[in-house]
Amino acid sequence: MTNSNVMKGGAGTVLLVLSLLVMVAGFGYAAFSLSAHGHAAFNASSNVPWGQPISTYLYFALASSGLGLLAAIPLVFRVKAYYPVAKRCVFLAFIVLISGMAVLAMELGHTFRMIWAIPFGMQIESAMFWMGVLYLLDLIFLLWKFQRLEGKDWDSKTAKQIGVASFLGVLLASGNLALIFGMMSMRPFWFDGSLPIYFYLTGITSGMAALVFYTYLAYGFKREAMPEPLQRLLTGNLPVLFAALLGVTLLFILVRMVTGLYSNMPEVHLVWSDYILTSPVYHLSLWGGLVLPFLLLLSRNLRVQPGVQVLCAMLVFAGLFAERYYFVVGGQVIPLFKGTWAWDIVHYTPSAAEWSLTLMGAAMIFVLYVLGEKYFNLSDTPADITAPEPSGATAKVTA
């Protein structure tokens, strides 16, 4: 079966070289700009301190968490139908998080200082301190879990314990990441105790998009080349789950939008009415990147089509990337206590250096992904589910 994985052959090598070139170019441009101009290479400013590199990091970190949560379906909740994607989920979660961290490292003023200043500072009141601790634990658990799966240990007591620990680590890490924003009462657009739920939902949706896209990519977008249990999952309840996640994500976005527009508070109302909803890019990403794939996946016939699934995954990539961007920037566009010095909504568009970091992160995922497909069997499953199981899988999932 592994021979049908095109990433192991020449196509994978071509993709590896191309993505490596993009990654190096992105890194090189950003590094050159930063060394020549400092952080003036970014369009983030004292009025909008967190720009696109932060929203990119957020996007990758939450996609990683989403993949980690998807991995928990088979590895924690023992839904056997999802075993064919478990190992790829864990691997993707690891590399997407690594790529997000690389983007964040390039954004910070003093990256290497962080390595000693955070542990020695022990500022346990800071959610950002906990972000470091929890995402480090998340990485360790993902790596450990992957190492057990690589050793074909799917069901031992230790493997189960690591799976549960990893699941909790993902929940805590992404929930805490939400609270970095959600606890900021001075930024009313973000201030929301239920933000972790929003992050879980959008995170698992973007994780699902990544899983679908990279699974198809491994087999040259040909479902018939995939192992039978994987085919069964992709024509079974995985697209239904994808549609359901998109639906709940859209519901959450709608609720935030309605409450924001209903509010009289300018820091919330104006962000929606005069910044987000007046942006053609936002509308394009919302309607094309979230609503359209949701509608496509609602159709019983369309949602099982490989082309539709890949298209939906790619649309959701773009839709949720924009969602993260407008979330991060939207919380800062109303000037904070600046009087008429800042008499309008603060204008921010990412600079070329900021875009190059986003490209670098995305290319890094491709590089690590191809390497993973080449050197590991990411479609590996426990021996007992490789046999055809036409009627049982769905029942087990829905149970």
Q: In the complex, which residues of this chain contact other proteins (CB under 8 A)?
A: 38-40, 42-46, 49-50, 108-111, 113-114, 117-118, 120-123, 125-129, 131-132, 180, 184-187, 265-267, 270, 274, 331-332, 334-341, 343-345
Give the residue with the Cβ less far from other proteins, 186 or 399: 186
Q: Which is nearer to other proteins, 131 or 204 (CB)?
A: 131
**Angle, nearest 10°, between helix axes 352-375 and 10-37?**
150
Least distance from C-beta 137 to other proteins, angstroms?
16
Task: Return the number of the residue (44 or 243) whose C-beta is nearest other proteins.
Answer: 44
Taking the complex as a whole, the smallest distance from the CB of residue 43 to other proteins amounts, in Å, to 7
Cα separation values, 150 from 97, 108, 157, 211, Å? 19, 35, 16, 19
Spatial CA neighbour of 26 closest among 353, 374, 278: 353
Between 130 and 219, name the residue whose CB sits nearer to other proteins: 130
Q: How many CA atoms lie within 13 A of 127 on its CB side?
A: 14
Cβ pair 67, 92 in contact under 8 A: yes
DSSP one-letter string for 269-286: HHIIIIIITT-HHHHIII
Q: What are phi and psi of 15, to 5 degrees?
A: -65, -40
Shortest distance in whole angstroms from residue 40 CB to other proteins: 5
Closest to other proteins by CB, 132 or 382: 132
Shortest approach of other proteins to residue 143 CB, angstroms?
23
As measured in angstroms, the least distance from the Cβ of 329 to other proteins is: 12
Q: Which is nearer to other proteins, 265 or 281 (CB)?
A: 265
- The token duo for 47 is 């009025």
Which C-beta is closer to other proteins: that of 22 or that of 104?
A: 104
Q: Which of 129, 162, 135, 98 is nearest to 369 (CA)?
A: 98
Smallest separation, CB 88 to other proteins (Å): 32
Find, among 163, 169, 206, the residue nearest to 60 by Cα. 206
Angle at 84 between CA 80 and CA 90, to 5 degrees: 100
99 Cβ contact partners less than 8 Å away, ≥ 6 residues apart:
60, 361, 362, 364, 365, 368
Tokens of 61: 């970190």
* Nearest distance in Å: CB 389, other proteins: 48
CA distance 257 to 338: 26
Output 78 or 187, the one with its CB closest to other proteins: 187
| Of 105 and 257, CB closest to other proteins | 105
Kindly state the smallest distance separating residue 116's Cβ from other proteins, in Å: 9
- Shortest distance, CB of residue 272 to other proteins, whole angstroms? 14
Q: How far is the CB of 170 from other proteins (least distance, A)?
A: 21
Please spell the DSSP secondary structure of 236-299, one letter per residue: TTHHHHHHHHHHHHHHHHHHHHHHHHH---HHHHHIIIIIITT-HHHHIIIIIIIIHHHHHHHS
Looking at the Cβ atoms of 122 and 387, the one nearer to other proteins is 122
Cα dihedral sign, 72-73-79-85: negative
Give the burial class of 315: count Cβ atoms within 10 A of its Cβ; 0-12 exposed, 13-18 middle, 19 or more buried. Answer: buried
